[in-house]
Amino acid sequence: MSDLELHLSIDDAVRWEAALAALDQLTAGAAPDRHELAAAPLLDGWRRTLVPAVDPALYGRVADHPRLRGRRQVVTSRLLAIDVDAGWARTLSRYYRLGRPST
Instruction: Name, in order, each residue with C-beta under 8 angstroms of 4's C-beta and a sequence gap of 6 or more.
Output: 81, 82, 83, 86
What are the pLDDT digits (tens) for 16-63? 898 888 888 989 998 888 888 777 777 777 887 766 767 888 898 888
Answer for the pair 58, 76: CB distance below 8 angstroms, yes or no: yes
| 45 inside domain | no
Q: How many structural domains does the chain have?
A: 1
pTM: 0.60
| 35 inside domain | no
pLDDT band at 88 (very low <50, low <70, confident <90, very high): very high
Give the pLDDT confidence score for residue 50 in this predicted structure: 67
| 48 inside domain | no
**Structural domain boundaries, residue 8:** 1-30+56-103
